[in-house]
Homo-oligomer: A and B are copies of this chain.
Amino acid sequence: MEIITSGQYDLIYNAFSFAFATLAAATIFFWLGRSQVAPQYKSAMTITGLVTFIAAYHYFRIFESWGAAYDVSDGVVTTTGYAFNQAYRYVDWFLTVPLLLVELILVMGLSRSETISRALRLGILAALMIALGYPGEVAETVTARWIWGIASMIPFLWIVYELFAGLSKSIASQPEDARGLVKAARYVVVGSWAFYPVVYFAGAVGLDSAAATVIVEVGYTIADITAKAVFGVLIFMIAQRKSASYFESHKAPVEKAAVRPTA
Contact = CB atoms under 8 A, between A and B. Distances in A.
A82 B54 CA distance: 30
Interface string A1-18: 000000000100110011
Interface string A219-240: 0000000000000000000000
A42 B33 CA distance: 8
19 contacts: A10-B87, A14-B87, A18-B94, A18-B95, A20-B57, A21-B57, A21-B91, A22-B95, A25-B95, A31-B32, A33-B43, A33-B46, A39-B247, A74-B81, A249-B252, A249-B254, A249-B255, A253-B253, A260-B260
Contact of A75 (B58, B83, B255): B83
Contacts of A58: 21
A169 interface: no
B257 A95 contact: no
A255 B57 CA distance: 44
How many copies of the shown chain assemble into the complex? 2
A81 B73 contact: yes
A25 B42 contact: no
A36 B25 CA distance: 21
Interface of A: 10, 13-14, 17-18, 20-22, 24-25, 28-29, 31-36, 39, 42-43, 46-47, 49-50, 53-54, 57-58, 61, 72-75, 80-83, 85, 87-88, 91-92, 94-95, 247, 249-258, 260-261, 263
In this complex, the member of A17, A24, A250 whose beta carbon has the largest number of chain B beta carbons within 10 angstroms is: A17
B34 A53 contact: no
Contacts of A85: 10, 13-14
Nearest to A49: B28
A222 to B, nearest CB: 13
Given A73-B81, A75-B83, A29 B42 contact: no
A117 to B, nearest CB: 15
Given A21-B58, A253-B253, A260-B261, A29 B10 contact: no
A251 B251 contact: no
Contacts of A92: 21
Nearest to A42: B36
Given A18-B91, A21-B58, A258 B261 contact: no
A164 to B, nearest CB: 26
In this complex, the member of A21, A31, A35, A252 whose beta carbon has the largest number of chain B beta carbons within 10 angstroms is: A21
